[in-house]
Chains A and B, each alone.
Chain A
Amino acid sequence: MNRLKYIVKRVLMSVPVLWLGTSMTWFIIYQGPVDPAANLLSGNERLTEAKYEAARTELGLDQPPVQHYVDWMWNLFTLDLGQTWLVYTGSNVGALVLDFLPRTVWLGFWSVLIAICIGVPLGFYAGIRSNTVADYIASVSGIVWRAMPNFWLAVILLALLVGSEPLFGFDWDTFLVDLPSGVTGNPGLSYMAGDPLALFTQPGETLAAIKKILPAALVLGSASMGNEMRIGRTAVLETKNEQYVDFARARGVSGRAIVWKHVFRNALVPLVPVITTEAFLLIGGSVLVESVFGINGMGKLFFDAAIQGDLPLVGSLMFVFIVLMLVINIAQDILYTLIDPRVGYDGA
């Protein structure tokens, strides 16, 4: 019961955050120094008063600001995201998002998984063998890996994979699974349309889609990988020196059992909020990684909308991103309470 209460409270807390974030976005876009209506018209059209007025009416800018604000918010909260103007002109934003979102989710999923699968074991390894040469190498490379800019890493990795034949002696494009379109481009997820089980029934397609996203996911997960390694190492170090570990050792529990049963399980707890912060890195970083690897995901869509000045689209997408972040955060807070029942029912 207590837990349910906490979850309800957590969800309720996110409502004002969603409202505030969306309002700020509206204010920046529609009350900011740029006129969105003028921005949407190209050179010739901008000169004709009629076209400009039509655009203002279309965007609802002829209404008083309060009325426009209420309309805009109402449309967003009823998930009517409107039409695009410049990017894929005239398409329905909702449909566009549904079209682009799976690629970003696919990218995010694999980058979290890669980060966890490499970062956590490496951190635990370094923590158990603390102050050995292996620990120093693992720690320093984790720190350096974390300091590398994503966009630069993406550029370098992309170049290495494109030129993999002469450099490494094998061609990445045909390695294991054939990728006819090369390293860049969208992962082929369309085989799953209408049939999510195809993920398992058509392993060939799945493998190709994984291979396609792998370089981008590695780059996107790189920062979190370093974080997880650091935290994992510290957590193991701290747990190792706890009294109950000494006690277990004194009772003659084998070293292996101590590590697996006592140290690892407790060291996992501080790693959960690290995964939470990853949501921020993933969604923000997807812009850079997607544009370098040519993946048409949400980040690329947002970036295109921003540089082409399609401000209404920027606003709608920002709303989608805020919702995404809130959902991920709530999910991870709930996960946290499941792993460690002592954590914050009355805090947060």
Chain B
Amino acid sequence: MATQFNTYTEGEAAPLRDRVMANPRPAAVWVGVAAVLFGLQAGAVVQFLAALLVDAVAALPGITVPAGVAALDRAADAVPTLLSRETIPNRGYYDGGGYVGTFLGLSPDLAWLLRVTLIYAYSFAALAWVWVGYERYRTHYRIADWTPRDDVIDRFRGHKWGLFGVVVVAMFFVMVLFAPALSPTTTAANLENPYQHEVTYWADGETRTVTVGQANLGSQSQGTPQENVGPMQYDDYGRIHPFGTLPSGKDLFTFIAHGSRISLIIGLVSVGLSVSIAVVLALMTAYYKGKIDLGAVLVSDAVMGMPQLLLLIMLSVILSGTWVGKIYSGAFVLALIFAGTGWPAMWRSFRGPALQVSNREWVDAAKSFGQTPGTIMRKHMLPYITGYVLVYGSMTLGGAIIAIAGLSFLGLGVNPPTPEWGRAVNAGQDYVTTASWHISLIPGILITLVVTGFNALGDGVRDAIDPESDAEDQGGASGRGGGA
């Protein structure tokens, strides 16, 4: 424990390595746990990176995936991991006496539930491990007993609503990361090539084999109790559907789990881009003021003068035929459009705080010392608006997810067969009050939950950074995607 008060800074102190050497136990335990956690999932990490590489190559127009890259992906697939479909399979069949091919002969629903529970338990253990690491660093190795950031973190820890947001957002991220392992079936079999995969099932006292496409035709959810596979039900082919099936007979859970990936990627790319534009512009306008500020006001007013959703529709229609519109099933161009239409509102929110900071005496002092404008903006102004960036970023991410789902609902967003939540809502439109209520209801509830989670996270961060401020109240609509 660093009990004595020291005034020297981090740079002047003994290096972190020496401090760890002086008291190695907490760090060693922590690293040991890390090794175990990582070891269980090493294959998945390799596989995730390989899949990312394949996706990135495939996203480029006019290039087929080179054989070497594809082979790397397959090799990575072969590494055993704890939390994969292969380790705890749920795709077995009943052979009259018991289940064949499922984990320990469990019924498919139990096997699937076990896998989902393990994945979430593992993920939360990993999160807890990160938190413990921070706490150990803070109590055992950090020189300062207290920093202003500690107060922020302690305030956040006591913020129940914010913690709820963290839990929801974490669960969403786990769904995104582990989408292939969480799904009861694969996208290849479910969405892309159903007629090239087979399913074995038990009927009339014998096992039979049929293609997935054929089986899907027999397990459609189309409203009547006879033609419906609801949540946690088996279809006639012995397959478990945790969220039921789509009207086409495809598995809704697989659709949603993989759809979450595209929502998050579009959301992150678009919010990241619009935040960067907004921050740079806010710093520039706050520092130089005058004509630059006026010009930015006019341009942002003009962009905001066009309703965002209409602009999104117009641009996605116009850009859909171009090569940009084809990258990643049209998701990339959506992210670009969203960033291009979203920055003005954000810039407006950052402009006020940035202007306040630019009038402080330390900025004048820095100027008189001859520091360059770039340095002043980066070192003396940026830290004071990062809080707002986090708050607005988190809230806009929710808005982006809603807006993109809205566009897909209209048939404009991401191109089929790439799954997107809005498209599931659209598919189930006619069945809401029938036996197949799950098709529209479940994706909608999930969108609401995820967006609420991101908003709660934003609220928590805002209250933690500055309990007095009411940043969000200035532009009440920041959490919505242009009215979608």
Q: Determine whether B452 belongs to the interface, using a CB cutoff of 8 Å to chain A.
A: yes
Asked whether A179 is an interface residue with its Cβ less than 8 Å from the other chain, the reply is no
Segment from A16-24, A95-103, A254-262 that makes contact with B: A16-24
Partner-binding segment picked from B195-203, B279-287, B407-415: B407-415
> Once the chains are docked, how many angstroms separate the CA of A91 from the CA of B120?
58
For A163, the chain B residues whose CB sits under 8 A away are 433
Interface residues of B in 36-80 (CB under 8 A from A): none
Residues of B within 8 A of A234 (CB): 470, 473
Is B483 a contact partner of A283 (Cβ separation < 8 A)?
Answer: yes
Q: Is B444 a contact partner of A156 (Cβ separation < 8 A)?
A: yes
Check A277/B303 contact, CB under 8 A, given A147-B448, A287-B313, A288-B484: no
Interface residues on B, range: 35 or more
Closest B residue, CB atoms, query A308: B317
B298, CB-defined interface residue at 8 Å: yes
- Tell me which of B298, B299, B313 contacts A302 (CB under 8 A): B313
Q: Which of B318, B432, B484 contacts A33 (CB 8 A)?
A: B318
* With A162-B433, A282-B483: A144-B305 Cβ-Cβ less than 8 Å: no
B313 and A34 contact, CB distance less than 8 A = no
Contact (A281, B480) CB under 8 Å given A34-B318, A303-B410 = yes
Interface string of B419-458 (1 = CB under 8 A from A): 0001001000100110000001101100111011001100
A321 touches B (CB below 8 Å): yes
- Which of B440, B441, B477, B483 has the most chain A CB atoms inside 10 A of its CB? B483
Which B residue's beta carbon lies closest to that of A287? B309
List the A side residues contacting B402 at CB < 8 Å: 147, 149
Is the beta-carbon distance between B452 and A144 smaller than 8 angstroms? yes
Size range of the chain A interface in the assembly: 35 or more
CB-CB under 8 A from B429, the residues of chain A are 155, 159
A277 touches B313 (CB 8 A): no
Q: Is B191 an interface residue, CB under 8 A from the partner?
A: no
How long is the Cα–Cα vector from A151 to B444 in the complex, in angstroms? 9
- A244 proximal to B (CB < 8 A): no
Contacts of B322 in A (CB 8 A): 33
Shortest Cβ distance from B320 into A: residue? A34
For the complex, is B319 an interface residue (Cβ under 8 Å from A)?
Answer: yes
B93 to chain A, nearest CB (A): 36
Q: Which one, B307, B318, B449, B470, contacts A28 given CB within 8 A?
A: B318
Which A residues touch B302, using CB under 8 A? 16-17, 20-21, 24
Q: Is the CB of A151 within 8 A of B422?
A: yes
Give the contacting residue for A326; candidates B305, B317, B411, B479; CB below 8 A.
Answer: B305
Q: In the complex the two chains form, is B479's CB within 8 Å of A149's CB?
A: no
Pairwise interchain contact A151-B305, C-beta atoms closer than 8 A: no
Q: Find out whether the CB atom of A147 lies under 8 angstroms from the CB atom of B440.
A: no
Q: Which residues of B contact A291 (CB under 8 A)?
A: 410
A148 to B452 Cα, complex, angstroms? 8
Find out whether the CB atom of B477 lies under 8 angstroms from the CB atom of A227. Answer: yes
By a CB distance below 8 angstroms, the chain B residues around A143 are: 452, 455-456
Asked whether, in the complex, the Cβ of A151 is within 8 Å of the Cβ of B406, the reply is: yes
Q: Whole-angstrom distance between the alpha carbons of A195 and B479 in the complex?
A: 41
B321 at the interface (CB under 8 A from A): yes
Please tell me if the beta carbons of B444 and A152 are within 8 angstroms of each other in the complex. yes
Q: B476 contacts A16, CB within 8 Å?
A: no
Q: A223 within 8 Å of B by Cβ?
A: yes
> Given A143-B455, A277-B477, A307-B412, A149 and B444 touching (CB < 8 A)?
yes
A25 within 8 A of B: yes
Q: Does A216 interact with chain B (Cβ within 8 Å)?
A: no
> Which 8 residue pairs of A and B lie closest in terms of their CB atoms, listed nearest first?
A285-B483, A159-B432, A284-B483, A20-B302, A284-B309, A152-B444, A163-B433, A281-B483
Q: Which residues of A contact B (CB under 8 A)?
A: 16-18, 20-21, 24-25, 28-29, 32-34, 143-144, 146-153, 155-156, 158-160, 162-163, 167, 220, 223-224, 227, 230-231, 234, 270, 273-274, 277-278, 280-288, 291, 302-303, 306-307, 309, 311, 314, 318, 321-322, 325-326
Q: A17-B298, A159-B440, A325-B306 are in contact. List 13 more A-B contacts (CB 8 A).
A: A16-B298, A147-B402, A155-B440, A230-B476, A273-B476, A280-B482, A284-B308, A284-B482, A284-B483, A287-B410, A306-B412, A318-B310, A326-B305
